[in-house]
Chains A and B, each alone.
Chain A
Amino acid sequence: MSEADKPVRGPEPAPEFARRLVLGRWQAAGLVLLLGVPVLALGRLLGDRVESHALRTGEWVLVAEVPACAREGNQMRITVRLARAAGGAEAPLSRVELSADYLSRFSAVRPLPSGFGDPVTPARVSAPMIIELTPEGYGWARGRLGVVTETGQRLELAVKTFVFP
């Protein structure tokens, strides 16, 4: 081993001690708040969660998948399905309505398939039907989702979505 290759010990290394986590009371509280946000986001509680609402009557089963929370400016979707209680076959929707108080929180409401009116649906199409909406402002959007079946029966569900800023 040449002189240049010899290992060299440097200056005195720093001494070691028992390392522990020490936090002040306010620091600990702030840390819980700080860590809480990504934890809530991972739990889909800050804008990605969809809730399923179901209504069963004698002849029909209505299921609506509505975002429980959404974020301002990000398009969201409501999916509406109607099925016969006997056999579970999907049934066509004659009309789908969202109440004005619910819609007041949204803009760019677009039904899919596009043959549906806005927000009232005049055509008969096979389920499911999707309504695309873009939240504006923030806070609760509460209202009712109404469906008219091919036999003329009207079904209604309460829906709500919290819009985050």
Chain B
Amino acid sequence: METVLRVVIIYAVILLGLRVLGKREFGELSPLELITLILIPDLVSQGVVRSDYSLTNSIIAVTTLFSLVFLVSLLSHRFGRVEKWIDGEPTLLVARGRLLVKNLNRERISPDEVYSQMHKSGCEHLSRVRWAVLETDGRISIILEKNGE
């Protein structure tokens, strides 16, 4: 009983924490972000299992976590609003060759990162970028202007 409640609480705290940290944390990880994600299991494991190291307790904890993952994905699929809250929405970083400073600051993305992604897409001038979008998985998508536009 208590294990179920503990997993629910830990899941909610981690979900909220990752949601607050933003999309950056889900994409390519910096060393600092990697350390954060590696430390989370160590910090929460004792809180979940306490002194109960029985197989039954582990199974309860894992199935509770899987059930939460499924229920959240179910709600997220069924209700668009929940999906937006859980996954967030893509953020526009560049529009028609212009950096959107407010969005870049909000997502803590430097122009260098946009340019790096732009170069990977085979583009050398910002003016050729129609859209640069920070996707909900933390990756930056570059859509180039069509030739002649």
Contact = CB atoms under 8 A, between A and B. Distances in A.
B86 interface: no
B53 A11 contact: no
Interface string A34-66: 110110011010111000000000000000000
Interface string A1-38: 00011001011000010011100000000010011011
A11 B100 CA distance: 14
Interface stretch (A69-77, A79-87, A113-121, A149-157): A69-77
A164 B67 CA distance: 21
Given A21-B77, A38-B67, A8 B92 contact: yes
B67 to A, nearest CB: 5
B111 to A, nearest CB: 14
Contacts of A122: none
Main secondary structure of the interface of B (DSSP, over half): helix
A20 B131 CA distance: 32
A37 to B, nearest CB: 4
A165 B143 contact: no
A141 B57 CA distance: 20
Contact of A38 (B60, B102, B131): B60
A19 B56 contact: no
Contacts of A4: 98, 100-102
Given A10-B90, A165-B55, A37 B133 contact: no
Contacts of B60: 37-38, 41, 46
Contacts of B55: 72, 164-165
Interface in B98-138: 98, 100-102, 130-131, 133
Contacts of B63: 34-35, 37-38
Contact of A71 (B52, B64, B102): B52
Contacts of B59: 37
Contact of A8 (B2, B7, B57, B100): B100
A21 B78 contact: yes
Interface of A: 4-5, 8, 10-11, 16, 19-21, 31, 34-35, 37-38, 41-42, 44, 46-48, 71-74, 164-165
Interface of B: 1-4, 7, 51-57, 59-60, 63-64, 66-67, 70, 74, 77-80, 90, 92, 95, 98, 100-102, 130-131, 133, 143
Given A10-B92, A41-B60, A46-B60, 10 more contacts: A4-B101, A8-B92, A11-B131, A21-B78, A34-B66, A35-B63, A38-B4, A38-B64, A47-B57, A72-B55
